């Protein structure tokens, strides 16, 4: 469908989105124990049917479509980020793919990003995989730092993932007294 204007231009309003096979770009994920645990016997079938859409904006990382469950990946993030970060981001997004396939919501507009059940589940899953591959607590805490969350939210996310405990009663009591 194209739309013409009085300006002498025509704009094609329907652009095809080309979805490419996940396995064409991401090899071996069907053998990762965490991914096998996520999808079980359907792992190969799910990854074979999964599509990925790359976008070229210099901002953004990865996401999962809440329309059809395909992955959206920044080509800049893919090429420029540390391998382990990209690996963990794929693991995280595959958790969202499972959530989508189970009919769970991926987005919770009324909640903070770090308090959304979908994000807590995906980050816990990702942290567990980070631990499995030998990442330290500090490395995992650094991985959880993203520019769209505040330091307080980062701390909350780390707590949700079991990387930091709840403040001691004495510390919490002192904090309440200062308020």
What pLDDT does residue 105 have? 96
Over residues 124-173, the pLDDT tens digits come to 999 999 999 999 999 999 999 999 999 999 999 999 999 998 654 544 54
Q: Global pTM?
A: 0.85
Distance CA 170, CA 156 (A): 19
Query: Is 38 within 8 Å of 49 (Cβ atoms)?
Result: no
Is residue 12 very low, low, confident or very high in pLDDT (cuts 50, 70, 90)?
A: confident
pLDDT for the residue 87: 95
pLDDT at 1 over 60: no
Residue 134 phi/psi, 5-degree rounding, is 95, 15
What would the mean pLDDT of 112-119 be, rounded to a whole number? 96
Question: Residue 58: what pLDDT?
Answer: 75
Average pLDDT, the chain: 88
Output the pLDDT for position 164: 92
Top pLDDT among 59 and 179 is at 59
Task: Give buried/exposed letters for 157-167 (b at 16+ CB in 10 A, else e).
Answer: bbebbebeeee
The pLDDT, as a whole number, for residue 179 is 54
pLDDT at position 8 over 80: no
Task: Indicate the pLDDT class of residue 174, thresholds 50, 70 and 90.
Answer: very low
pLDDT at residue 93 in the model: 98
Q: How far apart are CA 47 and CA 15, in angstroms?
A: 26
Cβ contact 21:51 at 8 Å: yes
Instruction: Say what the pLDDT of residue 10 is.
Output: 73
In the chain, domain spans: 15-178
Residue 173 in 3-state DSSP?
Answer: helix
Could you tell me the CA-to-CA distances from 91 to 37, 77, 125 in Å, in that order? 12, 15, 8
- Say whether pLDDT at 5 is over 60: no
């Amino acid at each position: 469908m194209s739309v013409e204007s009085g300006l002498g231009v025509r704009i094609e309003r329907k652009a095809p989105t080309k979805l490419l096979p996940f396995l064409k770009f991401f090899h071996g994920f069907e053998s990762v124990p965490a991914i096998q645990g996520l999808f079980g016997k359907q792992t190969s079938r799910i990854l074979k049917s999964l599509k990925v859409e790359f976008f070229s904006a210099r901002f953004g990382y990865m996401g999962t479509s809440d329309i059809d469950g395909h992955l959206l990946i920044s080509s800049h993030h893919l090429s420029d980020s540390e391998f382990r970060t990209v690996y963990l981001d794929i693991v995280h997004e595959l958790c969202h793919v499972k959530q989508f396939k189970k009919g769970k919501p991926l987005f919770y507009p009324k909640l903070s990003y770090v308090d959304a059940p979908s994000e807590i589940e995906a980050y816990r899953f990702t942290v567990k995989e980070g631990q499995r591959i030998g990442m330290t607590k500090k490395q995992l805490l650094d991985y959880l730092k993203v520019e769209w969350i505040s330091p307080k939210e980062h701390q909350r996310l780390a707590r949700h993932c079991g990387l930091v405990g709840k403040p001691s009663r004495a510390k919490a009591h002192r904090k309440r007294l200062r308020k």
